[in-house]
Amino acid sequence: MTAFSLDGRTALVTGANTGIGRAIAVALAGAGARVLCAGRRSCEATVAEIADAGGAAEDMRLDFSDPMAATGLFAEREIDILVNNAGIIRREESVDFSEADWDEVMDVNAKAVFFTCQAFARAVMARGGAGKIVNIASLLSFQGGIRVPSYTASKHAVAGLTKVLCNEWAGQGVNVNAIAPGYIATNNTEALRSDPERSKAILDRIPAGRWGAAEDIAQTAVYLSAPASDYVHGAVINVDGGWLAR
C-alpha cells in the first residue's frame, strides 16, 4: 500500500449527493476506498459515477436535521474514514435572524458533526483499530462573514471541535483534521459567479486568480484520509487559493 492508497478502507461521506461532497466521494473511491455516499437526498448519481470508474460505492440516506441520525451506523458497519461534509446555511440580517434558522443550522453543522464523530470514535476504539475523521470547515471558521450568524458560529465550532477531539483521541488511533474550503465553483456559489461585480471582487482577493474546484478539496480529503497524514492531528487546512493569506 502506498502512502496515498485507501485500498481496503471503507469511508462514509455525508452530503455526497452534490458539490464538494460528491467530489470527495469520487476521489476517495479513486484512491481505493469503498464509499458510503450519504445524503438527505439520493446519492445515486455519485454512486453511478464511482461505479463507472470501476470503484465501489453505496447510496445511503441520512438527514442531519436529526443530529443523531448516524449514531447507530458505526455499530453495524466497520467504517475507517468519516468525512463530515453535510451542511446548510441560512442568510438574514443578524437583527432579524430567527431562532428556528439558528437551531436548524447549528443542529446540522455542529451538533450532528460532534455526535457523528463521537459514535465513529467509539466504534474505532472498541475494535482497537485506527480511523480518520475529516471535517469540512470554512473560511468562516476564521472570518465573520455577513448575514450568516448561525453558519459562522457553526463553522467556528467545527474548527474548535476538530482541535478538542484531536487532543483527546490522537493517542487512541483516531486522526481528527479539517479542511477549510475557499470560494469553490459549485451550485452554492453560482449566484456569486454570475454577478460580474461580486465575482471580480472575489477573484481580485484570491492570489491564485481563480475559483477553486470541488476536486481541489477532494484531493486534500484523500491526503487526510490516507497513511500519508498519519502524523497530522488537529489541523485545519485552508484550501482557498491564498484567500486568507491576503
DSSP codes joined into one string, 94-162: GGG--HHHHHHHHIIIIIHHHHHHHHHHHHHHHTT--EEEEEE--GGGTS--SS-HHHHHHHHHHHHHH
Distance CA 226, CA 233 (A): 13
Is the pLDDT reported for residue 190 higher than 90?
no
CATH 3.40.50.720 describes domain 10-239: yes
Is the pLDDT reported for residue 1 higher than 70?
no
Tens digit of each residue's pLDDT (9 = 90 or more) over 56-65: 999 999 999 9
What mean pLDDT is predicted for residues 56-79?
97
Q: Quickly state the pLDDT bin for 199 (edges 50, 70, 90).
A: very high
Active site residues: 151
Average pLDDT, the chain: 97
